Amino acid sequence: MREVVFLRKNEKKWREVEDMLARSAAINPDKLADLYIELTDDLAFSQTNYPDSKTTVYLNGITAEIYQAVYKNKKEKSNRFIHFWAYELPKEFKQSQKHLFYSFSIFMIAVLIGIVSTSYDEGFVRVIMGDDYVNMTLENIEKGDPMAVYKGEDANSMFYYITTNNIRVSFYAFVMGIAFSIGTAWILFRNGIMLGAFQWFFYKKGLFLTSFLTIWIHGTLEISAIVIAGAAGFVLGNSILFPGTLTRTTSLVNGARRAVKICIGLIPIFITAGFLESYVTRMTDAPIGFKLTIILGSLCFIVYYFILLPILLNRKEAFVKPSVTLEEVSHSLEKEDAQNHLTTL
């Protein structure tokens, strides 16, 4: 059979497979499994008769992709919870890397503003943190226990209050995205200035290392989660500002669904951060190595799960996609067939 005839005979079926893969949420696993069997037969035929052709390359790629879709669907049914955390959520973070960059940039600019403002005006920290907090901290410094604020309450009560407060802040950062992302930017800006002013206040008192090794035990997860919640807010806001080819309503619904998924993924992070702040941060006399292990371990987790893992999964997924499209195969065969026809004439 001529290759172009083979293509025309099966093109409709192959396009059906492509359409099903494009609509991953609506995949019929039984139908997909049947098509997979037919595709493997087509691939075997193509490898035998056209081993070096684009048709074989295309079929090899789409067969691998359909296998992954069948396997992923089966795995998702067997354990939806694991699939969400191991695959679905990291994939969402990969699609939101741009929003995460915006969130991180705004937050860091605000931190720098907080640092510069406090360095030039010592009263700035009182405007940001409040007189009561600053006075209490100064008293703790005079007593020789600058981080005593983390020991003042019952650990269980502190855990409940801190965790719910952090979740509330992240919820605001997400929901305020509805105001065309401006609300989210404001919350990030406000929290960034507070962090910069707070950290520089301790630096001016000669207590930067002490404060760093204490605050960032829980702050590594807590601050990272707030920045990521900001990314969720930008996903929501940008879905309104830039709907693309979708209607603004449809784009908003899709953006809200994606943003909620990100926020759900942050809940365990906030719970862990609340636990650390309530039960571990108060251990101000703990060895430096112990503190650094928690800080660096938290940082490695954030970088791996929210940045590196999404990239790795995306590369793995891209690897099984066809390296040539059906249109390229069709165009190539039509051109080749036309040249053969001219040669025959």
List pLDDT tens digits, range 51-109.
Answer: 888 888 888 888 887 777 666 555 554 467 787 898 889 988 988 999 999 999 999 99
Q: Is 333 contained in some domain?
A: yes
Please indicate, yes or no, whether residues 196 and 339 belong to a single structural domain of this protein: no
Q: What is the 3-state secondary structure (H, E, C) of 113-181?
A: HHHHHHHHCCCHHHHHHCHHHHHHHHHHHHCCCCCHHHHCCCHHHHHHHHHHHHHHHHHHHHHHHHCCC
Closest CA to 220 of 269, 148, 268: 269
pLDDT for the residue numbered 61: 82
pLDDT of residue 128: 92
Residue at 76: amino acid letter? E
* Residue 309 identity: L
Residue 289: phi, psi to the nearest 5? -60, -40
Judge whether 311 lies within some domain.
Answer: no
190 has pLDDT over 80: yes
Residues 125 and 24 in one domain: no
Q: Do 223 and 155 share a structural domain?
A: yes
pLDDT in tens, 277-300: 999 999 999 999 999 999 999 999
pTM of this structure: 0.74
What contacts 26, CB < 8 A, 6 or more positions away?
20
Q: Is 108 exposed, middle or buried (0-12, 13-18, 19+ CB in 10 A)?
A: middle
CB 11 within 8 Å of CB 326: yes
In a domain, 205, yes or no: yes
Distance CA 182, CA 151 (A): 36
Asked whether residue 281 falls in the same domain as residue 340, the answer is: no
* Residue 302 falls inside a structural domain: no
- Any residues with CB less than 8 A from the CB of 338 and at least 6 apart, and which? none
- Is residue 241, in this structure, part of any structural domain at all? yes
Domain region containing 67: 3-78+327-344
> Given a cut of 60, is residue 24 above it in pLDDT?
no
Residue 304 lies in a domain: no
pLDDT in the model for residue 199 = 95
49 & 159 share domain: no
Helix pair 182-204, 208-241: axis angle to 10 deg: 170
pLDDT tens-digit series, residues 35-63: 788 888 888 888 888 888 888 888 888 88
Q: Number of structural domains, the chain?
A: 2
